Amino acid sequence: MLRLSSYLLLLMLFLTACTSNSKDEQKIGEDGFPEFTQEQLQDMIKSNPKAQSQLPVQESVNQQIQILEAFLEKNPTDISTKYNLAKFYYQKYIADNLPATCQKSLSFYNNIIELQADYEEGRPYYNRMLCHLHLSDYDAALSDLDRFIAINQGRTPVNHESMRAEILFEKGEKAAACDIYQTALARYAKDSLPIHNDLLWAERCPD
């Protein structure tokens, strides 16, 4: 059984890495979800002043989804809105644990990748991978991780070996997972790129 808190942490680590070079670094709230500044929210919904005025920073994920979907209806080709909706639906899935919610996130990521495979330096592949992992589609998750690595080319600092180890372990390939996790530890020692759940991995790979 997947541990949702572990994967939420992985996503938060990734989102933090993705925004670490920006002017407004992402903050994580007490509930584990990102806290968007008003400027970031305005970027999400771009040139829709009415929506901006209706969207306080602390609105719930459901309300944010509703406003962004209303904006998307009027701007159906806006890829940045689709990307943010995909991320919000994933956050919603972490809360409700309903496969249909994760499928909704997947559908947005699928469309984004069809439109522009290298959007945001391949990050939709990484985020789609998380949905595949939750839905136990391990081969698809590994494929998305490989696509992210190929497109991103190291521009986003993320310890992808840690994620590969997690996928392989859930797939039942314990020996390979433990080997890859050692590579993740080496990357952490060299580059300080975060890993997660070291105590859990100590139990998984006692040797």
User: What CA–CA distance (Å, rounded) separates 197 from 7?
Assistant: 10
Domains of the chain as residue ranges with CATH: 58-157 (1.25.40.10), 160-206 (no CATH)
User: What CA–CA distance (Å, rounded) separates 61 from 7?
Assistant: 18
Strand partners, 28: 34
The answer to whether 14 touches 126, Cβ cutoff 8 Å, is yes
pLDDT at 194: 82
Q: Is the pTM of this model over 0.75?
A: no
Angle 146-150-151 from CA coordinates, rounded to 5°: 120
pLDDT at 89: 95
Residues 6+ apart with CB under 8 A from 175: none
pLDDT at 195: 83
> E strands along the chain, which residues?
27-28, 34-35
Q: In the chain, what percentage of residues exceed pLDDT 90?
A: 59
pLDDT at 173: 97
List, for residues 128-183, the tens digit of each pLDDT value. Answer: 999 999 999 999 999 999 999 999 999 988 899 999 999 999 999 999 999 999 99
